[in-house]
């Protein structure tokens, strides 16, 4: 019998990922983690080029990550599914998709540069989509000769963590060089920073609580057509369980809800008897073509969810100093709303007898979306316009 990925080797499964500014070394660190653990038989090594596959090649040493890439490795006590998130401002919406799946994150900052614009935006979005815990990796420390400068960068980072609601005092901050660890994976001194990082992940990020007993729900991250097999949709199971033979609905973003049957569930190339909440899986569907499904829809147990156009929400409008708007917005404001793996345009009206929302305000909004999505009370979302995050909110009441 094929056992579930979550328990087959007696270890807890945890979803983590790397976030941070472009060029600070996220993909290099991800590759270094795999290389170091592969030397112990606890990972299959994937090269930098393989992890960054599908990115934009800038030169032989650098590829700009565009989509979130998934890898896995183990420690003595855990299985880690690791998401390497894009850092480039143009691909923040794909970073949101990755962060929405995390139980914890590694915030990576170049010691040579310190915190940068995407560092702040990623922190904000990590907090907004509900990433509960962070570990900080100060990369490229080998390029900084001044020990006092390293101390200043760490102080800046701890202040930044406090600013965005994380524990600035106790959060582990690991110093090192991802490139040195990657290039010399059997050198104890070179890989010490990776060992410290893995230990910090084990200690600082609590075992996640999985919503196994709720109806199956999985936001769709990607859709693939596999020759001779059919359509595969991938994502992290948000709640519930799924197995081959289950009927599911595919809903949101389209006028009609479709129904299909799952014929196989896989995780990192291994067939699962059951996919549980928290697992990153690929689900093979019996009949639907890949062009009938789109990223941002959800798979759900039949009859448990309904797409909606309208909802009310409590929203915080970011100040200019936080990277948000410089001016207020008024009724009819039409930004993009980001939920889970989807983003959709909608119009917002300010409630409570107020006709505008100022940067820095907390306001109640009634939102009407152009396309229906699976949304429920308590769901968190980000508001973006013009390539920047301008607000964050939580649904207080679904209207239609």
pLDDT for res 66: 31
pLDDT for res 154: 94
Whether 134 contacts 174, CB under 8 Å: no
Question: CB burial class (10 A; 0-12, 13-18, 19+) of residue 85?
Answer: buried
The CA dihedral of 32, 34, 38, 44, to the nearest 10 degrees, is -140
HEC profile for 135-182? EEEEECHHHCCCHHHHHHHHHHHHHHHHHCCCCCCCCCEEECCHHHHH
pLDDT for res 278: 79
pLDDT for res 324: 82
Contacts (Cβ under 8 Å, ≥6 apart) of 52: 27, 63, 64, 65, 69, 84
Residues in the chain where the model's pLDDT stays below 70: 1-9, 22-24, 45-69, 85-101, 129
* Among 202, 275, 271, 265, CA closest to 37: 202
pLDDT for res 242: 93
Q: DSSP string covering 51-107, please?
A: HTTTSEEEETTEEE--S-EEEEEE-SSEEEEEEE---SGGGHHHHHHHHTT-SSEEE
Whether 300 contacts 249, CB under 8 Å: yes
Quick count: other Cβ atoms within 10 Å of Cβ 128?
A: 24
| pTM confidence score | 0.66
Structure tokens at 34: 């795999």
Annotated active-site positions, please?
Answer: 23, 26-27, 88
pLDDT for res 134: 92
- Walk me through the domains of the chain, giving residue ranges and CATH numbers: 12-204 (3.40.50.300), 217-301 (2.40.30.10), 307-398 (2.40.30.10)
Q: How far apart are CA 18 and CA 98, in angstroms?
A: 9
């Amino acid at each position: 019998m094929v056992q579930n990925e979550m328990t087959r080797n007696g270890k807890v499964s945890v979803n983590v990922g790397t976030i941070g500014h472009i060029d600070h070394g996220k993909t290099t660190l991800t590759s270094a983690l795999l290389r170091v653990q592969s030397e112990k038989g606890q990972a299959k090594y994937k090269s930098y080029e393989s992890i960054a596959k599908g990115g934009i090649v800038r030169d032989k040493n650098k590829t700009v990550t565009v989509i979130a890439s998934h890898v896995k490795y183990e420690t003595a006590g855990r299985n880690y599914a690791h998401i390497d998130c894009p850092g480039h401002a143009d691909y923040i919406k794909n970073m949101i998709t990755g962060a929405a799946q995390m139980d914890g994150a590694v915030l990576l900052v170049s010691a040579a540069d310190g915190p940068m614009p995407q560092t702040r935006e990623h922190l904000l979005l990590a907090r907004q989509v509900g990433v509960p815990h962070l570990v900080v990796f100060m990369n490229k420390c080998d390029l900084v000769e001044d020990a006092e400068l390293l101390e200043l960068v760490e102080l800046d980072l701890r202040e930044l963590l406090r600013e965005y609601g994380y524990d600035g005092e106790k959060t582990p901050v690991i110093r090192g060089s991802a490139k040195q660890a990657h290039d010399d994976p059997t050198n104890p001194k070179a890989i010490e920073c990776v060992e410290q990082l893995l230990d910090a992940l084990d200690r600082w990020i609590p075992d996640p609580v999985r919503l196994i007993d709720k109806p199956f729900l999985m936001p769709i991250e990607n859709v693939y057509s596999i020759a001779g097999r059919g359509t595969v949709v991938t994502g992290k199971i948000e709640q519930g369980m799924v197995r081959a033979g289950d009927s599911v609905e595919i809903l949101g973003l389209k006028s009609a809800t479709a129904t299909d049957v799952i014929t196989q569930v896989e995780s990192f190339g291994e067939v699962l008897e059951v996919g549980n909440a928290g697992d990153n899986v690929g689900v093979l569907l019996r009949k639907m073509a890949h062009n009938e499904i789109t990223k941002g829809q959800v798979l759900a147990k039949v009859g448990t969810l309904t797409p909606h156009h309208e909802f009310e929400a409590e929203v915080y409008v970011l100040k200019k100093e936080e990277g948000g708007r410089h001016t207020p917005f008024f009724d009819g404001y039409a930004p993009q709303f980001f939920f889970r793996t989807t983003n959709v345009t909608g119009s917002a009206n300010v409630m409570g007898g107020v006709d505008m929302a100022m940067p820095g305000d907390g306001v109640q909004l009634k939102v009407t979306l152009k396309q229906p999505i699976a949304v429920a009370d308590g769901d968190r979302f980000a508001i973006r316009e013009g390539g920047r995050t301008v607000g964050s909110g939580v649904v207080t009441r679904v209207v239609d």
